[in-house]
Amino acid sequence: MLFQSTAKPVPDALLPDDLTLAQFMLDSQHPLRNKPVNDQWFIDAATGESRTYEDCKSRTQGLANALSRRGIGEDDVVCISSPNNVDYPIAIWAVHRIGAIVSPANPSYSASELCYQLDVVQKAKLIIAHPTCLATAIQAAELHGLAKENIIVLGAGASPGFTSVDDLIAEGLTSPPNYVERKLQPGEAKTKLAFLSFSSGTTGKPKAVAIPHYAPISNVIQIAAFNRAPDGSPGRFNTGQTSLAVLPMYHIYCLVVVVHLTVFVGHRVVVMEKFDFAKMLQSIVRHKICHLFIVPPMIVLLCKHPSVKNYDLSHVRYVMSGAAPLTAELQQRCQELYPNMGIFQGYGMTETCTVVTMAPPYWGKSAVKGCAGLLVNNTVARVLKEDGTFGKYGETGELHVRGPQMALAYYNNEAATKEGFEDGWVKTGDIVQIHENGNVFVVDRLKEFLKVRGFQVAPAELEGHIIGHEDVADAGVVGVKDEFSGEVPVAYVVLTADAEKRALQDGEQIKRSIMKYVAEHKVNYKHLHAVTFIDAVPKNPSGKILRRLLRERAATDFGTIKARL
């Protein structure tokens, strides 16, 4: 059976299919859009520097003009490697103004990881890099074959020899127009790419998810409609409120929900460069932030960190946890500690750009613990059971979803696309139950990738890297439960004959060496929690790792790792 959203559908006429995301945010007025009390859009949490609507529009125009003068144009790809910044959205919208595509990168990537992203998107002509990412961007550009002159610096800091975004904005605003912004044809926004965002898909290395302009525009409208009151008033997201951008802007959760939705509903957005719990608490209090969009590890800190008692958080009204499952127990504990807050979950993924389910406003603060919420407007689901049939209410199976917010495919990856997409459906790889009242519960994962602090980690990627260590003959990676991170990766390693002999005397040193080998080449959330030696990695006759057996062993070896604060 098909599970339809119980929320009132948004008419097709209110889902514009002829606008780019920049045009939607900067140039258009939508019936569901809240007019802000003041025009501040983004505020730097550390410096207080802000960007008003007029600032955003002007700076976007200037940067777009300068990028066009540098030869960036239709369907070129611009990679942004930066922590959060008040000009990050401006960089996105400037790229969209000239018809190009944004590929946001994790600012913690190593040079090889960033080079891999550049290789996958193929047509990258420019990197916009924060000063803290500049050295990595230079190395990645050299590996990829991109000239050093094609790196632009975003953010304050000395970067001799490089042009800054501020320089380009000034240049663009004082130069004759070099481009004519194109108005899309009706329906074109459904296919014209806005983002190439990276996701691990079901297995293997990260894949570029092809996201058209129509997807984030639709999801912003869907969430705004879903959260309105029955009388048509803004409901949960009232104009003039303040939200916090503490999640990374390159991640689809923050990119859609915080960078775009909150501005659409008239919120000010306080931008933290990166997550620091003490500074996050300070920002919440200083700016009277009432809406938090966070991940489960932050919920753990709110519940357990001793410094929380020094801050009055009574003005926080709404907390949405996403990117990884939030246990019912942790949700209940947080609700007990903060009775003024509504603690809720949402569900989505890069391939669904982004929100598929969330808690409806009529739940008040009485969330159904452990529930991912209800399907948002215009979203349809089905549940594929193990026997290949589609399930009914209460039956368990893989969640497939369809709606205007879906991505199109994995970019230039036909095999992965066939695995993850089918006739407009996204096959999520998550095992769910949908009850008769519409409540969606995520009960397990079909996918092999781990969720570490909300980030996807593909075991196959780590295994392929670990096997490159001189002492390793084979490896299998699985996740173990961790109270803070959700999961952390552990490696079961088969040693070479020579290393096996040395391990009798110095096995711990070999383990440390393997962990260091991963840490030196992979972003921090992919670092190994532990290495355990094993005689053989269990595999089926075709050579596929029997990960279930490794997970069972890991559960016995490690149990649940408790948070230490």
CB 341 within 8 A of CB 319: yes
What's phi and psi for 42, nearest 5 deg?
A: -130, 135
pLDDT of residue 180: 94
Alpha-carbon torsion angle 454, 456, 457, 460, nearest 10: 160
CATH classification number, 450-558, choose in 3.50.30.30, 3.30.300.30, 3.40.50.300, 3.80.10.10: 3.30.300.30
Q: Which amino acid would we find at residue 73? A: G
Give burial (CB, 10 Å; 0-12/13-18/19+) of 505. exposed
Dist. CA 219–CA 352, nearest whole Å: 9
Give the per-residue pLDDT at 431: 87
How far is the C-alpha of 457 from the C-alpha of 485, rounded, in Å? 12
What is the per-residue pLDDT for 542?
42
How far CA 323 is from CA of 52, 84, 223, 513, in Å, comes to 29, 18, 16, 31
Instruction: Say whether 450-558 and 3-12+200-445 share the same fold.
Output: no
Which of 14, 18, 7 is closest to 29 using CA atoms?
A: 14
Q: Where are the domains of the chain?
A: 3-12+200-445, 53-183, 450-558
What would the 3-class secondary structure string for 468-516 be? CCCCEEEEEEEEEEECCCEEEEEEEEEECHHHHHHHHHHHHHHHHHHHH
Tokens, residue 14: 């209110």
- Rounded CA separation 107/87 (Å): 15
Residues contacting residue 35 through CB under 8 Å, at least 6 positions apart: 239, 266
**Residue 99 in contact with residue 188, Cβ under 8 Å?**
no
User: Helix or strand or coil: residue 184?
Assistant: coil
| Fold adopted by 3-12+200-445 | Rossmann fold (3.40.50)
| Domain made up of 53-183: CATH architecture | 3-Layer(aba) Sandwich (3.40)
Query: DSSP state, 449?
Result: -
Q: What's at 250, amino acid-wise?
A: Y
Is there a contact between 115 and 143 (Cβ–Cβ < 8 Å)? yes
Instruction: For the chain of 565 residues, list the mean pLDDT of each consecutive stretch of 10.
Output: 95 97 96 80 96 96 98 97 98 98 95 96 94 96 96 86 95 96 97 93 76 98 92 82 95 96 96 94 96 88 88 94 80 89 93 96 84 96 93 94 98 94 94 94 76 82 86 90 90 92 92 95 93 87 70 89 66
Contact 483, 560 (CB under 8 A): yes
Which pLDDT belongs to residue 202? 46
Count of beta carbons in the 10 Å neighbourhood of residue 553: 17
Task: Decide if 489 contacts 452 (C-beta within 8 A).
Answer: yes
d(CA 211, CA 517): 34
How far is 500 from 273, CA to CA, in rounded Å?
45
3-state class (DSSP) for residue 265 = coil
